[in-house]
Amino acid sequence: MKTFTDRWRQLEWDDIRLRINGKTAADVERALNAAHLSRDDLMALLSPAAADYLEPMAQRAQKLTRQRLALIHLGAPARP
């Protein structure tokens, strides 16, 4: 079984950089509207094209955080 470090070292960083830098505003918008993010969506959100979408990204992150914290709160025992 390969370790995380082994897999990390096998990544083709030049290809990854080209793919991230090749993302467009349309790719960013598609990622922001996706129900579940893919690897390509992550690349779009990390790309220079995402610079104009920081506010929508922050809003989505806040919404997800609130949803997940609500789930945790619902599962927590009641306080006396």
Domain around 30: 4-75
User: How many domains would you assign to the chain?
Assistant: 1
CB atoms within 10 A of CB 24: 11
* pLDDT surpasses 90 at 22: yes
Q: Tens of pLDDT along 24-54?
A: 999 999 999 999 999 999 999 999 999 999 9
In a domain, 52, yes or no: yes
Residue 72, pLDDT score: 63
Residue 4, pLDDT score: 96
Residue 75, pLDDT score: 59
Q: How far apart are CA 19 and CA 34, in angstroms?
A: 19
In a domain, 39, yes or no: yes
Q: How far apart are CA 60 and CA 21, in angstroms?
A: 22
Residue that wins the pLDDT comparison between 33 and 64: 33
